[in-house]
Amino acid sequence: MGRLKTIARRTFLIGSAAVIGGVAFGVYTYRKPAANPLEDGLAQGEAALTPYVKIDADGITLITPRADVGQGAYMVQAALIAEELDVRLDQITADPGVPSAAYYNGTVAAEGFPLAATDDGLIARTGRGAADVAGKLLGLQLTGGSSTVPDAFEKLRVAGAVARATLLQAASAETSVPVDQLSTKDGAVVLPDESSLAYTALATTAAGIEPVQEVALKDPSEWRYIGKEMQRLDIVAKSTGTQEYGIDLQMDGMVHATVKCNPRIGGEMISYDATEAEAMRGVKRVVPITGGVGVLADNTWRAFQAAEAVTFEWGEAPYPADDAAMWEQVAASFTADHQDSRFKDEGDVDAMEVAVEAEYRIPHLAHAPLEPMTATVLLDGGRLDIWTGTQIPRFMQVNAAKLAGLDAAQVHVHVLVSGGSFGRRLEDDYVLQAVELAMAEPGVPIKLTWSREEDMAHDFPRPLQMARARGAVSGGQVTGFDLGIAAPSVAASQLGRLGQPAMGPDVAIVAGAWDQPYRIPDYRVTGYRVPPMVPISSWRSVGASGNGFLHEGFLDELIHAAGADPLDERLRLCWHEPSRRVLEAVGEMSNWGDALPEGRGRGLAFTLSFGVPTAEVVEVTATERGIRLDQVYVACEVGRVIDPVNFDNQVKGGVIWGLGHAMMSEVTFSDGMTEQLNYDGYPGMRIYQTPEIEVRALETDALRGIGEPSVPPAAPALANAIFAATGQRIRELPLNKSVDFI
Amino acid sequence: MKLKVNGTEHEVDVEEDMPLLWVLRDELGITGPKYGCGIAQCGACTVHLDGVATKSCQVWAVDAVGVEVTTIEGLGTPEALHAVQAAWVEHQVAQCGYCQSGQIMLAASLLSDSPSPTDDEIDDAMSANLCRCGTYPRIRAAVKSAAAKLQEA
């Protein structure tokens, strides 16, 4: 097998260490050794190794530290290692490993710095480097921001290549055959006589060899997995009911639990009466915890029933109690005092002749993954074990240790598969509740399961946002665009809960709006920070999820006011070649410009987010019963497609996510409480509403994630299509406040 | 009371009104049917009662007595997939996968009632269940492919 391309420079070194019965390969962190995640298994003196590949008598384990919440991250990470290690995917086990500061994520931290994804200049690169260092220092083992692929692409392939090269050395040492006469195939070293030595049989010898650092990675033309359709590692389990999720965990002596906390998020529990609940069948105890109670029982349903039987006196909400009061606070934030950022300020919008003024609103939205929050916890002596689905195992470890009065090293987080997340599992509130229950009942494994109602009541939502926009047109062109966006800060709210500082402006308030690749003579985007209200968090595609609608909805208004064509005018305004390519592609796919029958309309929107320019065209028909979604076309420049099936799933899933919420979802508050407590009040898109979706990937050598970028353009493309079909311009989500849908 | 699940009789001592879902999950350890909403909105808990797709969060334990209960575990296994499961694997439908036990049970029931459903019939029937990841395009394709396979057989 030829290895053509040598890596010239790396910021990490692959090391190896003996483990019981075998060898592990991984990254040595520099500057300071991070706590060793396989401490129990590694030899003395190897404390800084973070393993990605472990080979022992049991087989080959690829350690995939980024969480899989349905986005296929395990598969992608395993494929990158397997590509260079030369193993079949059915020969390996993927293990999310254990939390370690050494699995830092340098890419997601960069999203916190105000660098446009189009900006590849020196300042931008320096800034990204600084963010990378910050990522290391904070020990961000975090899954999010579509960062898994960019972060892992080189690191995991090199780990696989170093392991393979070292196993070849081991085979040479055992057989005295020179390395250049050996090859590898499907998890074994092949000798000149075509006999083979399994990696598992070479592991012990390999552990005694200095890892081979001079490795060359395969030329892309030789890739066996990357870019090819692969069968997901979990697909059979997920098609047979045998995939174990957090909620399915069963342990000997396990107690089932639920909690009921003040439905005013973060509010106090003044008093409670559990007399009736404690007398109910199967109930062991009712335990007060922060802001509410936990019920321990012998069955989850009995725990749910008993929690409903507890009576409470709740404290007031520590935020404005209803939507009217919240909108008032948002509307009052368009002032110099509240100005958070003005990253885009070109020309002079104050001097432009304003042709269109508009106000836009988007609501709070819940993540509402189908598996409610759940965690199993066992506190036994000086050891705390946590089994749960999470995107932040390292933060969770530290916070749980603090709560239980332990050192982080005494807390063991076992990451399980999650039934969705969409950002919800970037929080550890449910785990800390389970730890409180475990502290009340040490020595007993406790599985906490939230009811759907508890989940919806405490889903830290995406923030509501308001935009005030003014624009100018002249000679058939858009000449001025002034967008002010007011929203509370997700970064401050979310990092605050994780005990981390959030410094400087919050890029999320304007992400997907300030950084769009248009050249407009007078062009300004200002972020206004609304004082904290309801605790809020990251929701699939974060700031861009709402800002795509604000920016692209208003731009569409201006283009129509100018009398221009939405595609032609965007192409005229757009200076960024990759973005122009996706606009042109989606135009071609949708036959943009061809006449449609009466009552039908096409809407176009474009958002550059997470480095991925994405253009979408939605086609709708205005029927007597309401708007019907007929067809969606998506073009995105995604960099390299690692797995075409997963790519297709993520893009279409993002479109459905974006459309469904835009059509009919909102979270509202009354008396401090969420009003939508289940899927009847908070519907998601159903299959009958789902349009045909056609996706085109424009590939480059760049590395991008794809879990989020198709979300932001979906809502504005739909609203713009409704305008095209009906002449009705909708500036508020959800759209079903203004029109009916079939 | 006695419940017959996937061909096996079980004696359970539960309240008459305990939802079948929680009898299966917490009393019998059969965790393929999932809890998602508890109010018949999401369908993640879908099982077959005498072959008919039913949301097990809405069925009292006592009403499942004398009925053949089939969960995803009884439909097929990783070693011996049901045609619908095989189609789900072939089309790689699952993302998070949490709703898919219910989707598969619903699709299997649809195809036993209506062996070659039209696109509209598929959409109508499958709209009873919710997927938050947005796997609907692949669900459509997998149902059609399973229907074709079952017709051949």
Q: What is the pLDDT of residue A145?
A: 57
Q: Which domain holds residue B128?
A: 83-152
Question: For A303-340, what is each residue's pLDDT tens digit?
Answer: 999 999 999 999 999 999 999 999 999 999 999 999 99
User: Do B147 and B96 share a structural domain?
Assistant: yes
**A118 close to B (CB below 8 A):** no
Q: Tokens at residue A692, please?
A: 């045909």
- The residue behind tokens 């300020």 is A345
Strand partners, A25: A16, A53
Decide if A369 and B135 are in contact by the 8 Å CB cutoff: no
Q: Looking at the structure, do residues B12 and B55 belong to the same domain, yes or no?
A: yes
Query: How do strand A411-415 and strand A383-388 relate by DSSP bridges?
Result: parallel
The domains found in chain A, sorted by start residue, are: 5-105+140-239 (3.30.365.10), 246-317+373-449 (3.30.365.10), 323-365+460-531+540-737 (3.30.365.10)
Structure confidence by residue, pLDDT tens digits, A156-168: 898 889 889 999 9
Q: How many domains does chain B have?
A: 2
User: Do B64 and B102 have their domain in common?
Assistant: no
pLDDT above 50 for A596 = yes
- pLDDT number for residue A147: 62
Chosen domain end from B56, B74, B92 = B74
Residue A33: its pLDDT value, please?
38
Is the confidence at residue A224, as pLDDT, over 60?
Answer: yes
SS3 A480: strand
List, for residues B26-49, the tens digit of each pLDDT value.
999 999 999 999 999 999 999 999
Structure tokens at A472: 């100018």
**Separation CA A448–CA A462 (nearest Å):** 25
pLDDT in tens, A572-583: 999 999 999 999
- pLDDT band at A35; cut points 50, 70, 90: very low
In this complex, the residue of A302, A372, A657 whose CB is nearest that of residue B134 is A657
Distance of CA A539 to the CA centre of its chain: 8
Closest residue on chain B to A232 (Cα) = B92
3-state secondary structure at position A213: coil
Minimal Cα–Cα distance from A476 to chain B, Å?
Answer: 39
The pLDDT assigned to A2 comes to 36
User: Looking at the structure, do residues B70 and B20 belong to the same domain, yes or no?
Assistant: yes
Say whether both B13 and B59 belong to one domain: yes
The pLDDT assigned to A69 comes to 67
Does B119 reach chain A within 8 Å, measured CB to CB?
A: no
Please name the member of A370, A649, A690 whose beta carbon is closest to the beta carbon of B99: A370
Which 264-293 residues of chain A touch chain B by CB within 8 A? Answer: 281
**Within this chain, do residues B21 and B41 fall inside the same structural domain, yes or no?**
yes
Give the minimum alpha-carbon distance from B66 to chain A in angstroms, rounded to a whole number. 23
CA distances from A582 to A204, A541, A591, A606, A636 (A): 51, 19, 14, 9, 6
Residue B20: CA atoms inside 13 Å, Cβ hemisphere, count?
A: 30
Whether the per-residue pLDDT at A713 is higher than 50: the answer is yes
Contact predicate A391/A424, CB 8 Å:
no
Work out the average pLDDT over A691-706.
Answer: 90
A631 neighbors A577 (Cβ within 8 angstroms): no
Residue range A401-407: mean pLDDT, rounded: 97
Please tell me whether residues B44 and B99 are part of one structural domain: no
Q: How many CB pairs under 8 A join A and B?
A: 184
Cβ of B95 within 8 Å of Cβ of A70? The answer is: yes
- Contact call for residues A512 and A344 (beta carbons, < 8 A): no
Give A123's pLDDT tier (boundaries 50, 70, 90): very low
Same domain, B114 and B88: yes
How far apart are alpha carbons A179 and A191 in whole angstroms? 10
Q: How far is CA A418 from the centre of its chain?
A: 13
* A539 contacts chain B (CB < 8 A): no
Rounded CA-CA distance A201/A209 in Å is 15
- Name which of A68, A239, A251, A300 to mutate to probe chain B: the one with the most chain B Cβ atoms within 10 A of its Cβ: A239
Residue where a domain stops, chosen among B33, B49, B74: B74
Residue A82 has pLDDT above 70, yes or no: yes
Report the alpha-carbon distance of residue A718 to residue A655 in Å, rounded: 11
Chain A residues whose beta carbon lies within 8 Å of the beta carbon of residue B31: 241, 244, 247-248, 250
* Residue A599: pLDDT band with limits 50, 70, 90: very high
Contact A266, A318 (CB under 8 A): yes
Q: What pLDDT shows up at residue A36?
A: 42
pLDDT confidence bin for A440, thresholds 50/70/90: very high
Q: Please name the residues between 48 and 87 in chain B that touch chain A, using a CB distance below 8 Å.
A: 71-73, 76-78, 81, 85
Give the least confident one: A121-125, A254-258, A296-300, A621-625.
A121-125
- B47 at A interface, C-beta within 8 A: no
Please tell me the distance from the alpha carbon of residue A3 to that of residue A281, in angstroms, as a whole number.
67
Q: Which residue would you say has higher pLDDT here, A504 or B85?
A: B85
Put simply, the chain A residues between 298 and 317 with a CB less than 8 A from any chain B CB are 298-302, 304
CATH code for the domain of B106: 1.10.150.120
**Nearest to A597, CA basis, from A578, A622, A614:** A622
Classify residue A117 by its DSSP letter.
T
Contact state of A370 with B36 under an 8 Å Cβ cutoff: yes
Q: Are residues B38 and B59 in the same domain?
A: yes
How, if at all, do strands A522-530 and A600-609 pair? Answer: unpaired
Q: Do B36 and A238 touch (CB under 8 A)?
A: no
Both B88 and B148 in one domain: the answer is yes
Tell me which of B23, B41, B74 is where a domain ends: B74
User: Within chain B, where are the H helices?
Assistant: 20-22, 72-75, 83-90, 100-113, 119-126, 136-152
How far apart, in Å, are the Cα atoms of A622 and each of A690, A727, A728, A736?
Answer: 16, 11, 11, 13
Average pLDDT over residues A226-235: 89
Examine the domain organization and report whether B9 and B59 are in the same domain. Answer: yes
Global ipTM: 0.98
Hey, what are A270's tokens?
């003044």
pLDDT digits (tens, 9 = 90+) for A131-186: 443 444 344 555 555 566 667 788 889 888 988 999 999 999 999 999 999 999 99
Angle, CA of A11, A13 and A14, to the nearest 5°: 140
> What is the residue whose two structure tokens read 């933060």?
A395
Report residue A58 as tokens. Answer: 């049991």
DSSP annotation of B27 reads I
Neighbours of A268 (CB within 10 A): 16
Per the listing, tokens 């368009």 go with: A334
Whether B96 and A420 lie within 8 Å, measured CB to CB? yes
pLDDT of res. A181: 96
Residues B99-141: tens digit of each pLDDT: 999 999 999 999 999 999 999 999 999 999 999 999 999 999 9
Average pLDDT over residues A523-547: 96
Q: Are A514 and A344 in contact (CB under 8 A)?
A: yes
A138 torsion bin: left (phi>0), alpha (psi -120 to 50), beta (else): alpha
Q: What is the CATH number of the domain that holds B47?
A: 3.10.20.30
Q: Which residue shows structure tokens 């919050």?
A: A506
Regarding whether B58 and B11 lie in a shared domain, the answer is yes
Contact residues, A window 23-82, toward B, CB-based 8 Å cutoff: 69-72
Largest distance between two CA atoms of chain B: 45
Chain centroid offset of residue A212 CA = 35
Q: Which residue has the tokens 């011996």?
A: B80
Helix (H, G, I), strand (E, B) or coil at A445: coil
Mean of all residue pLDDT scores within chain A = 88
